[in-house]
Structure 1
Amino acid sequence: MVTQVRIGAAAGFAGDRSDSAGPVIEALAQHDGPRFLIFETLAERTLALAQIDRIANPARGEVPALERLLRPALRDAARHGIRIIGNFGAANPRAAAAKIRGWAVEAGYPRLKIAVVEGDDLLGLMSPAEFAACESDGTVLARAPEIIAANAYLGAGPIAEALSRGADIVVTGRVADPALVLGPLIHSFGWAWDDWDRLAAGILAGHLLECGSQVTGGYFADPGVKDVPGMDRIGYPIAEVEADGSFVVTKPDGTGGLVDRRTVTEQILYEIHDPAAYLTPDVVLDLTKVEIKQVGPDRVRVTGARGHPLPPTLKATICVDGGHLAEAEISYAGPNAGARAKLAIETVQRRMRRYHPALAIRVDLIGAVSVFGDRAGSGVTGIAWDRLPSDLRIRFAAESDDRAAAECLLDEVEALYCAGPAGGGGVRRRLTPRLRSASCLVARDRVTPSVSFLEGMG
């Protein structure tokens, strides 16, 4: 009978570090019992970009960082019998699984069983009008001529099924992030699907692990206010979960970072709208009775999660054509840089009003007014230009369905090289296709998850 399960996190987003898995695998390998390694790589933006990639090439659409993140960890995880679950399949889980199979063969493990979880793709299963009718908090879909992608957030069920059928690696597309942890816990402990408190505890463990090193001090660090040692070698988290759902959050010995009541508390509250009702596909998590206790150096015990029956609908992210994003930057430095930067902004704005008056342009002075600036350039009004630093970077940006208008902005910024003012340099320009996204709540009977194995294995 399984009494404890250890789950480590090797990635909290697609751009995470590629050397994070090694210490976690080494720590997991020191213990017996079920051990799992999760890769959470699929933010909404990442999936949208993957959909664009898949549309351009149907053989692609996985998380672009798949090889960089997973390949270095594959041999050691297989050698120690540590099973891997990751949503790095993005828009094309089957393509990701095929690549992983090739790396497994190269690593000397051709018999690894690789499962593919599908069914999150709703494109073609519902009409645009049906999606528009269930859109929440917006009217994006009512105006959209075409839906490019539609993906539901699946729960832990297909992950648990894949593991129970012997999968060594489970590749998913869009699943709820904490389902990556709840799935192996259900598989290992045999929790019932209506054991709401245990399911809620598994979701809470997943919520703490899903962002990787955020819970071990990464996003927590604020020098002089919340000091974290060894940030350059920060350890990624491990949850030691008991059969009753209680668990300890820790990290590999010898790594940097920090696990204490503050880091765990902060991460628990991350992206939580209602602490009494955090909705997931498998259970509604109630955090109001959770207790957090430091039980040792870099060891925090979490208990008291409560659960309520699962919601009647599933969240889905719907993507439509978002036109183009035009971005261009130029620098001004030295004496009177502020006045020259101001003149550059006014020149571009006046010329764009002449040729494309409907295009809303955002202008930022990076390092002076950018993060807190508002839209359409008004963020740079009221600035004391003569008091600015003598090293300024201007960013112009606009989004438009009119590609010609977007490209015109890029041309106008580049023209500042010779058309003045003096001393402009370092122009960078980029035109990026965009997707707009909307959230829908879809009926569960419209979503049919499936589990399959490469080459009929399983």
Structure 2
Amino acid sequence: MRQIRIGAGAGYSGDRIEPAIELAEKGDLQYLVFECLAERTIALAQQAKLKNPAAGYDPLLPERLRAVLPLCHSKGIRIITNMGAANPIAAAERTRAVAQELGLAGLKVAAVTGDDVLAHLSKGDYRIEETGASVADAGSRVVSANAYIGAQPIAEALANGADIVITGRAADPSLFVGPLIHEFGWTLDDWHRLGQATLIGHLLECAGQVTGGYFADPSYKDVADLARLGFPIGEASEDGSVVITKVAGSGGQVTPATCKEQILYEIHDPARYFTPDVIADFSRVTVEEIGPDQVLIQGAAGRSRPDTLKVSIGTIEGFVGEGQISYAGPGARARGELALDIVRERLRITGVHASELRFDLIGVNSLHGERLSGNGGHPEPYEVRVRVVGRTDSLDEAVRIGNEVETLYTNGPAGGGGVTKSAREVVGILSTYIPRHLVYPTVHYVEA
């Protein structure tokens, strides 16, 4: 039975680069996939492209390519990534420049476009899933709209000889489904196989999560050598099964438990996981350890793909101002609470206009509030971190929030230190759905 080995080189935009190098060096791969895009990431990339038409792709693209491209080129490993973000064509051009800089010739780079559907949203009546309101109501606040496209253009690019495929907002598992379609000759309506391929992609898409990174919980779920965590390899077979493994000697672990957690990660309904390629069914999946750091996974299925594609909408949601300060020693919590009271009153006195404000003691009530965290019967904390954060309509108002926290240095209470403050524009994320027939993925080629 034919098999291919696919390595996951990244699970998000800022992920470590060393594990990807390790995969290229020792993973015996045919494909190395970098999944680097999130909903907020692409909205920020669209903002960057508006300011500079040559920008809008992942800023770590050149660094990642310099690290792995010589190895991949020499070993015939093909690279697939969504680091194109808001500007796959510019990313492809930058890839060509990096290849030339490294003295590598004969590379074919494919850029997949068509996920940007902002123009379509202005022509129809689309409903925001989170609020039920019309997308049109968001008006000028909308800065981006990107549909989740599937594996078809990736498979097409590989069939046309691309060594590197760069997409924008492709769905995460589709980055892995594409090479499986290409290598095994699966059709785009083989729902059973596409369901299996989607499971493989879902297992690999978050990189170090499935090798124990997100799994680790000291004394409950111990994982060794996380500082040298190895990223996963999927040894995919033509029958749709996969063995999840990693480079021998790398940190972390691959076990039935790490794989089961990843299978369920971000899945609303395991029997109906909607993707652009298929509605996958993971409800009858089996997980079997067949060796050290080797887990065989099979049994996924699928049904006909949905008629609509999810769209991630980026919106400008005003500004956020934040200030933090620490207190330590006896009475730290009482001084922290007094600090919050002072800033709360100062913001009222000085007339700072905020639509939303939070006053937190990090480590005491900042995550779950007084109702769940509180003191819990434990001794008073030796140290606390005060955080005041607010949403405003202007950058100037946001700056004033952090400034008021900073004045606690000399205006009480005693012993405050380590102030940080910031003010920034906020990009929000909303969702809608668009008819599939309105989205036209297109593949462009660049010779390096």
Distance 1:178 1:198, change over 3 A: same
Q: Which residue of 1 aligns with 2:177?
A: 182
Task: Select 2:139's aligned residue among 134, 137, 145.
Answer: 145
- Report the 3-state secondary structure (helix = DSSP H, G, I; strand = E; otherwise coil) of the residue aligned with 1:60: coil
Please say if 1:221 is aligned against 2:230: no
Please say if 1:436 is aligned against 2:431: no
| C-alpha displacement of 1:306 | 0.7
Q: Which residue of 2 aligns with 1:27?
A: 26
1:144-187 deviations in Å (ceiling 9; x for gaps):
23121000000000100111111000011100000010001111
Residue type of the partner of 1:83?
Answer: R
| C-alpha displacement of 1:296 | 1.1
Please say if 1:262 is aligned against 2:261: no
Matches of 1:273 and 1:379, distance apart in 2: 25
Matches of 1:286 and 1:360, distance apart in 2: 41
Residue type of the partner of 1:21?
Answer: A
Q: Which residue of 2 aligns with 1:130?
A: 124
| C-alpha displacement of 1:230 | 1.9
Q: Which residue of 2 aligns with 1:367?
A: 363
Residue type of the partner of 1:176?
Answer: A
Q: Which residue of 2 aligns with 1:351?
A: 346
| C-alpha displacement of 1:53 | 1.9
1:108-154 deviations in Å (ceiling 9; x for gaps):
21321110000000122331x736x2322314635423121000000
Matches of 1:176 and 1:136, distance apart in 2: 18
1:25-80 deviations in Å (ceiling 9; x for gaps):
12333x7xxx1000001011221222222222222111122233332011101110
Matches of 1:242 and 1:357, distance apart in 2: 59
Percent identity between matched residues is 48
Residue type of the partner of 1:360?
Answer: E
> Given that residues 182 and 206 in structure 1 are in contact (C-alpha distance below 8 angstroms), is that contact kept between their aligned partners in structure 2?
yes
Which region of structure 1 is more displaced relative to structure 2, 329-338 or 211-220?
329-338
Matches within 5 A, 1:362-441: 362-373=358-369, 388-441=380-433
Task: Select 2:41's aligned residue among 43, 46, 49.
Answer: 46
Residue type of the partner of 1:224?
Answer: S
Q: Which residue of 1 aligns with 2:77?
A: 82
- Report the 3-state secondary structure (helix = DSSP H, G, I; strand = E; otherwise coil) of the residue aligned with 2:407: helix
> Given that residues 395 and 424 in structure 2 are in contact (C-alpha distance below 8 angstroms), is that contact kept between their aligned partners in structure 1?
no
> Given that residues 163 and 184 in structure 1 are in contact (C-alpha distance below 8 angstroms), is that contact kept between their aligned partners in structure 2?
yes
Would you say how many aligned residue pairs link Structure 1 and Structure 2? 445
Task: Select 2:225's aligned residue among 212, 218, 230.
Answer: 230
- Report the 3-state secondary structure (helix = DSSP H, G, I; strand = E; otherwise coil) of the residue aligned with 2:124: helix
1:80-123 deviations in Å (ceiling 9; x for gaps):
00000000111111222222211111222132111000000012
1:212-245 deviations in Å (ceiling 9; x for gaps):
0111111111121112122121111111111111
Distance 1:388 1:186, change over 3 A: same
Distance 1:225 1:390, change over 3 A: closer
> Given that residues 370 and 379 in structure 1 are in contact (C-alpha distance below 8 angstroms), is that contact kept between their aligned partners in structure 2?
no
| C-alpha displacement of 1:274 | 0.6
| C-alpha displacement of 1:372 | 1.6
> Given that residues 17 and 69 in structure 1 are in contact (C-alpha distance below 8 angstroms), is that contact kept between their aligned partners in structure 2?
no
| Structure 1 segments of 4+ aligned residues over 4 angstroms from their partners | 382-387
Please say if 1:448 is aligned against 2:440: yes
1:349-368 deviations in Å (ceiling 9; x for gaps):
01212313654211221222
Taking only aligned residues, the RMSD between alpha carbons, in angstroms, comes to: 2.1
1:413-444 deviations in Å (ceiling 9; x for gaps):
12222222222222111111111211111101
- Report the 3-state secondary structure (helix = DSSP H, G, I; strand = E; otherwise coil) of the residue aligned with 1:117: strand
- Normalising by structure 1, what TM-score? 0.92
> Given that residues 338 and 385 in structure 1 are in contact (C-alpha distance below 8 angstroms), is that contact kept between their aligned partners in structure 2?
no
Which region of structure 1 is more displaced relative to structure 2, 177-186 or 247-256?
247-256
Matches of 2:56 and 2:377, distance apart in 1: 46
Matches of 1:48 and 1:424, distance apart in 2: 37
Residue type of the partner of 2:403?
Answer: D
Distance 1:272 1:254, change over 3 A: same
Residue type of the partner of 1:398?
Answer: G
Matches of 2:158 and 2:446, distance apart in 1: 14
Residue type of the partner of 2:268?
Answer: H
Residue type of the partner of 1:368?
Answer: V
Residue type of the partner of 1:269?
Answer: L
Matches of 1:123 and 1:347, distance apart in 2: 45
Matches of 2:377 and 2:324, distance apart in 1: 18
| C-alpha displacement of 1:386 | 11
Q: Which residue of 2 aligns with 1:340?
A: 335
Which region of structure 1 is more displaced relative to structure 2, 444-453 or 347-356?
347-356
Q: Which residue of 2 aligns with 1:69?
A: 64
Please say if 1:36 is aligned against 2:28: no
- Report the 3-state secondary structure (helix = DSSP H, G, I; strand = E; otherwise coil) of the residue aligned with 1:22: helix
Q: Which residue of 2 aligns with 1:10?
A: 9
Which region of structure 1 is more displaced relative to structure 2, 243-252 or 359-368?
359-368
Matches of 1:322 and 1:151, distance apart in 2: 18
Matches of 2:149 and 2:109, distance apart in 1: 19
Matches of 2:132 and 2:38, distance apart in 1: 22
Matches of 1:260 and 1:384, distance apart in 2: 35
Please say if 1:246 is aligned against 2:241: yes
| C-alpha displacement of 1:383 | 6.1
